[in-house]
Amino acid sequence: MTKDNPGVLRGLAAALPIMLGYFPIAFSFGVAATNIGLTGGQAVMLSVLIYAGAAQFLALALVASGAPALVAAATLVAMNIRHLLYGPALMKEAGQPPRRFAALWGWGLTDEVFGQALGALRAGQRFTEPWMAGLAAGAYGAWISGTALGAWAGGGALSAWPAVEAGLGFMLPALFLALLLSIMTRRQVPVIAVAGLATVGFTLAVSSTTGILAGMIAGALAGVLRR
């Protein structure tokens, strides 16, 4: 493993900031899941199979409200469809490198992992699949272990500390905002502003899922038109 050929360990090191953010958020998810009546195993399986922070909390709300399974599934798919764009965007930034194991590390392309990888590539980091696998595996492991510990602690684990519970809920957007600021340039500000306004507007007018989709579409169109 050299500077020019980063491997798994360097990927894990790059994942450390994400892991520090993911673990407490996943812990609060595990607590919330058991609080609505799910077993510890069910809570962990949601993290293993869905692995999407905001969408998992939405899934809990849908389950608690008694939403039909098909409606819940369609809502979660719509909320996370943006992830289909991360792989192609990352490959374009990396110069279309070999991707024999893309199915393995591509599973770990969350918002934060994508942001960290994109920032590293723009800073001169060379893309290698072992490095990407380490980055994705570190974040995934922190999310699963945090969920497991939260589920084990039980539904009332945070009830005595409401301020801590509220703070944990803010950590995920705060982490993503920090990653966004690390890769943002002045040229991207108008595009981000358009996406942000569309997201907020449609969220207030319709729903959070519609707001996310509207922000994606508006941001993509603004980026194409600006380019």
Phi/psi at 2 (nearest 5 deg)?
Answer: -120, 175
Amino acid residing at 167: G
Q: Which of 150-154, 160-164, 191-195 has the highest mean pLDDT?
A: 191-195
From residue 149, give the alpha-carbon distance in Å to each of 11, 27, 198. 24, 6, 37
**Which of the four pLDDT bands, split at 50, 70 and 90, describes residue 74?**
confident
Instruction: State whether 84 and 33 are in the same domain.
Output: yes
Residue 9 is predicted with a pLDDT of 92
Q: Residue 175 domain-assigned?
A: yes
From residue 127, give the alpha-carbon distance in Å to each of 5, 18, 91, 114, 185. 8, 18, 9, 12, 21
The count of domains in the chain is: 2
Q: Residue 98 domain-assigned?
A: yes
47 pLDDT more than 90: yes
**Range of the structural domain that residue 227 is part of:** 186-227
Q: Residue 170 domain-assigned?
A: yes
From residue 104, give the alpha-carbon distance in Å to each of 133, 134, 148. 7, 11, 22
Residue 2 is predicted with a pLDDT of 42
Instruction: State whether 219 and 118 are in the same domain.
Output: no
**Which of the four pLDDT bands, split at 50, 70 and 90, describes residue 36?**
confident
Q: Residue 208 domain-assigned?
A: yes
From residue 194, give the alpha-carbon distance in Å to each of 4, 122, 125, 198, 225. 37, 23, 29, 6, 12
Instruction: State whether 192 and 148 are in the same domain.
Output: no
Instruction: State whether 222 and 162 are in the same domain.
Output: no
136 pLDDT more than 90: yes
Q: Residue 2 domain-assigned?
A: no
The mean pLDDT of the chain is 82
Residue 82 is predicted with a pLDDT of 79
Name the more confident of 36 and 146.
Answer: 146
Instruction: State whether 130 and 213 are in the same domain.
Output: no
67 pLDDT more than 50: yes
What residues does 5 pair with on adjacent strands? 2
Instruction: State whether 218 and 166 are in the same domain.
Output: no
Q: In the listed set 164, 183, 202, which residue is the last one of a domain according to the structure?
A: 183
pTM (whole model) above 0.85: no
Instruction: State whether 114 and 197 are in the same domain.
Output: no
Instruction: State whether 47 and 121 are in the same domain.
Output: yes
Q: What is the pLDDT of residues 95-133, one digit of tens each?
A: 877 778 888 888 889 988 998 998 888 888 888 989 999
